[in-house]
Amino acid sequence: MQSTIKNARRVVIKIGSSLVTNQGQGLDHAALARWAGQIAELKKMGKEVVLVSSGAIAEGMQRLKWKKRPHALHELQAAAAVGQMGLVQAYESCFRGHDMHAAQILLTHEDLSDRKRYLNARSTLITLLRLNVIPVINENDTVATDEIRFGDNDTLAALVTNLIEADLLVILTDQGGLFTADPRNDAQATLVEQARAGDPAIEAMAGGAGSDIGSGGMLTKVLAAKRAARSGAHTVIASGHESDVLILLAKGKTIGTQLLAETMMLAARKQWLADHLQIRGNVTLDNGAVKALSVGGKSLLPIGVTNVIGNFERGEVVGCLDPQGTEIARGLVNYNAAETRRILRRPSSEIEFILGYVVEPELIHRDNLVLL
């Protein structure tokens, strides 16, 4: 089995809020020390580890003496700002005890949606790994808005997995893995030990709500595995309450649910396109264009476009929809929305006549397009 930590060189580990807090009452420093100890053991085994850790908002709530997680965005941002101080201090102290250093990386969606910032984030993380530093990543809740938030650290962890081309994503939660039904409500529920990431059947099995402290449920974890699989990474969803779970996984023990990727690793640029959460608009394709992209591996030409949805600028990411409205691809567009509306259904040879100029004969070049 290639999905355990034993076979992975570069691993992203996501630890949920319930595993690093005292039931929401601030950080559980003893738990953080245990996680640092296990990660130190993984490092001794030659693993590169990136940690995506929740806990900042819970720590901020405790410091501010709030009993319930707020709903107002500005209050969440304030709690995150206060809590990040404690979270970083705690991790740095724990890793220092193992003669290791931690580095804080705060990300927003904009950091990964802008090509230049995406590459900068990637370079920083790769450099930290080369320096034997443990990157501790969290969403930059203090500046993120509803429009640019990842929404949960499961999604963020999957995007980081793609970003650094990790071999494996480990999502640690307070559940034993993915079950056929919610085990808290159904005594007949059984653990799904192995499945294919992206299988619609497992998405149907996944439950919804998480705890009052965290923001993700099992569905976000299953969808995160689907996203990580786009770059060829497997995912393990396991209980963080099991003693030495990371070490046991590293020794080859099967724990929790393994969601396997079946695709070959995408090039880094196409990973970025596939995982661009905020597309700026869509173009609808005719059946001929759908076939040219999905079967022929061709570029998207204006003649194959039947409709333009939204407003976008040249160089932004747009989704490509089939006639039924399903997104089949996305890519960097060579013309803005107004220009695209003028040249759709027309051959490339007429672009200059219609617009007075020609940027490229393709609406989206195949090198800047990825199938979903």
Give the orientation angle of helix 73-96 with respect to helix 56-63, to 10 degrees. Answer: 100
**Mean of per-residue pLDDT scores for the chain:** 88
Question: Do residues 176 and 245 make contact, with C-beta atoms less than 8 angstroms apart?
Answer: no
Q: Verify that 364 and 226 share a domain, yes or no.
A: no
Domain that holds residue 343: 279-371
Half-sphere exposure (CA, 13 Å, Cβ side) for 281?
A: 20
If DSSP codes are grouped into helix, strand and coil, which group holds residue 229? Answer: helix
Asked whether the predicted pLDDT for residue 221 surpasses 90, the reply is: yes
Q: Verify that 229 and 367 share a domain, yes or no.
A: no
Q: Which of 230, 245, 271 is the last residue of a domain?
A: 271
Structure confidence by residue, pLDDT tens digits, 134-164: 999 988 766 665 544 666 789 999 999 988 9
Q: Verify that 288 and 244 share a domain, yes or no.
A: no
Structure confidence by residue, pLDDT tens digits, 126-135: 999 999 999 9
Average pLDDT over residues 228-245: 92
Structure confidence by residue, pLDDT tens digits, 192-213: 999 999 888 888 888 644 443 3
Q: How far apart are CA 268 and CA 362, in angstroms?
A: 22
Confidence of residue 363 (pLDDT cuts 50, 70, 90): very high
Q: Verify that 283 and 258 share a domain, yes or no.
A: no
Q: Which of 271, 302, 317 is the last residue of a domain?
A: 271
* Candidate from 32-36, 156-160, 194-198, 215-219 with smallest mean pLDDT: 215-219
| % residues pLDDT > 90 (the chain) | 57
Q: Verify that 257 and 349 share a domain, yes or no.
A: no
Q: Specify the pLDDT at position 345.
A: 97
Asked whether the predicted pLDDT for residue 214 surpasses 50, the reply is: no
Structure confidence by residue, pLDDT tens digits, 69-112: 888 888 888 888 999 999 999 999 999 999 999 999 998 877 87
Confidence of residue 1 (pLDDT cuts 50, 70, 90): very low
Asked whether the predicted pLDDT for residue 4 surpasses 80, the reply is: no
Average pLDDT over residues 336-345: 96
Instruction: At 187, list the tokens.
Output: 């005594």
Average pLDDT over residues 10-18: 93
Highest mean pLDDT among 119-123, 162-166, 203-207, 353-357: 353-357
Confidence of residue 24 (pLDDT cuts 50, 70, 90): low
Q: Verify that 109 and 236 share a domain, yes or no.
A: yes
CATH number at residue 350: 2.30.130.10
CATH number at residue 51: 3.40.1160.10
Would you put residue 308 in left (φ > 0), alpha (ψ -120 to 50) or beta? beta
Q: Verify that 186 and 317 share a domain, yes or no.
A: no
Q: How far apart are CA 320 and CA 282, in angstroms?
A: 6
Q: Verify that 144 and 173 share a domain, yes or no.
A: yes
Asked whether the predicted pLDDT for residue 65 surpasses 80, the reply is: yes
Instruction: At 266, list the tokens.
Output: 């995408």
Q: Verify that 75 and 213 share a domain, yes or no.
A: yes
Average pLDDT over residues 221-249: 93
Q: Specify the pLDDT at position 367.
A: 82
Q: Verify that 112 and 136 share a domain, yes or no.
A: yes
Check the CA dihedral 231-237-241-242 and report its sign: negative
Q: Verify that 307 and 361 share a domain, yes or no.
A: yes
Q: Verify that 313 and 251 share a domain, yes or no.
A: no
Decide: pTM greater than 0.85: no
Q: Specify the pLDDT at position 142.
A: 63
Say how many domains are in the chain: 2
Instruction: At 359, list the tokens.
Output: 């940027």
Q: Which of 246, 271, 296 is the last residue of a domain?
A: 271
Asked whether the predicted pLDDT for residue 352 surpasses 60, the reply is: yes
Question: Do residues 362 and 297 make contact, with C-beta atoms less than 8 angstroms apart?
Answer: no
